[in-house]
Amino acid sequence: MVTIDEVNDVNIPDIEGIDFVDYVNEEQLEDVMHLVQKDLSEPYSVYTYRYFLHRWPQLCILAVPSDSADKRPIGCVVCKIDVKRDDDIDAASENTDAARKVNYTGYIGMLAVETNYRRAGIGTALALRAIQRMQQMGCQSIQLETEVTNKGAMRLYEDRLGFIREELLVKYYLNWNNAYRLRLWLK
């Protein structure tokens, strides 16, 4: 298991033959959609992708084979940050934005790796890069949902990255499968 201290203090190792690049523009949208739609149980509209990619482009990371001529990604992670203000105001303070505590929660919305590239650490590397960026942007925790039947995702998030099960979401997906909401608390 990777600890969050490792994410903070150590450079995340590279994977030989794989470059990790940032989402740049709409030209990459089709590639992201293609990767995600193959594996996730929920169909997302193009507007969902654009919501994530246009608001938080720095939280979309693509894995591209170094030796590939066409530079099509073989993996990606797509994330966002939710901002919540604490409405509990100290009795001595005025009702101002400065008096409210701001909480930032990262959210991993999509993570996908092409089937023939799996089990090489690419998903872990993508998730770690995203976690590091969200932490640098001030997130106190990161959450996500995954189907209870997705054993690979459960191994990645719980066993390797230290996420904990926060809630069981009954019949959460369109296919009526249950999901776990997982959370990683950051230091």
Q: Where are the domains of the chain?
A: 4-185
Q: How many other C-beta atoms lie within 10 A of the C-beta of residue 38?
A: 10
What pLDDT score was predicted for residue 4? 53
Of 96, 94, 73, 76, nearest in space to 85 by CA: 96
Written in H, E and C, the secondary structure of the chain is: CCCHHHHHHCCCCCCCCEEEEECCCHHHHHHHHHHHHHHCCCCCCHHHHHHHHHHCHHHEEEEEECCCCCCCCCEEEEEEEEEEECCCCCCCCCCCHHHCCEEEEEEEEEEEECHHHCCCCHHHHHHHHHHHHHHHCCCCEEEEEEECCCHHHHHHHHHHCCCEEEEEECCCCCCCCCEEEEEEECC
Answer whether CATH 3.40.630.30 is correct for domain 4-185. yes
What pLDDT score was predicted for residue 43? 79
What pLDDT score was predicted for residue 104? 95
What pLDDT score was predicted for residue 14? 86
Of 102, 41, 106, 112, nearest in space to 73 by CA: 112
Print pLDDT tens along the chain (187 aa): 455 554 554 468 789 999 999 999 999 999 999 999 987 777 788 999 999 999 999 999 999 999 877 789 999 999 999 998 776 445 455 556 555 688 999 999 999 999 999 999 999 999 999 999 999 999 999 999 999 999 999 999 999 999 999 999 999 887 889 999 999 999 7
What pLDDT score was predicted for residue 5? 53
Question: Are the C-beta atoms of residues 7 and 81 closer than 8 Å to each other?
Answer: no
pTM (2 decimals)? 0.85
**Structure-token pair, residue 174:** 């369109």
